[in-house]
Amino acid sequence: MQLKSRHYDAPDMDAAMELCIEKGWSDGLPVVPPTAARIDAMLEACGLEPDKQVAFIENRQVSVSAEKIAINAVLAGCKPEYMPVIVATVEALADPLYGYHGPGTSTGGAAVLMIVNGPIAHELGINNDHNLFGPGWRANATMGRAVRLIMRNTIGTMPGTLDQSSLGHPGKYTYCIAENETDSPWPPLHTSRGFKAEQNAVTIMAALGVHQYSNGMSATPEGVLITACAQMRVSAGTARQPCYAMVFAGEHQLIMKKAGFSRSDVQRFVFEHTKVSIAELKRMNLKDGAVKPADEQAWMDLVETPDDILVAAAGGKAGVQSCYIPGWGGKAGSQSVTKEIRKP
- Whether residues 115 and 134 fall in one domain: yes
Q: Which residues contact 299 (CB under 8 A, 6 or more apart)?
A: 275, 276, 277, 278
pLDDT score recorded for residue 173: 98
Q: What is the pLDDT of residues 284-336, one digit of tens each?
A: 888 899 999 999 999 999 999 999 999 999 999 999 999 999 999 777 779 99
In a domain, 334, yes or no: no
Number of domains in the chain: 2
**Domain co-membership, 156 together with 46:** yes
> 152 and 41 share a domain?
yes
- Are 232 and 178 found together in one domain? no
- Assess whether 32 and 168 both reside in one domain: yes
Question: Do 216 and 201 share a structural domain?
Answer: no
Residue 167's CB is within 10 A of a number of other CB atoms, namely 9
Q: Is residue 331 part of a domain?
A: no
Is residue 289 in a domain? Answer: yes
Q: What is the mean pLDDT of each run of 10 residues along the chain (344 residues)?
A: 89 94 96 97 97 94 97 98 98 96 92 98 98 98 98 96 94 98 98 98 97 96 98 72 94 98 98 94 90 95 94 96 92 90 96
The pLDDT, as a whole number, for residue 239 is 58
pLDDT at 237: 54
| Angle formed by the axes of helices 36-46 and 66-76, nearest 10° | 120
Tell me, yes or no, whether 252 and 316 share the same domain: yes
Q: What pLDDT shows up at residue 333?
A: 79
* Residues 197 and 214 both lie in one domain: no
Global pTM value: 0.96
Domain enclosing residue 224, as ranges: 209-326
Residues 240-283: pLDDT tens digits?
688 999 999 999 999 999 999 999 999 999 999 999 999 998 99
- Whether residues 78 and 151 fall in one domain: yes
**Is the same domain home to 214 and 199?**
no
- For position 238, what pLDDT does the model report? 57
Name the helix (H) or strand (E) containing 212: strand 211-214
Residue 190 lies in a domain: yes
What does the alpha-carbon distance between residue 54 and residue 327 come to, in Å, rounded to a whole number? 25
Provide the pLDDT for residue 329: 78
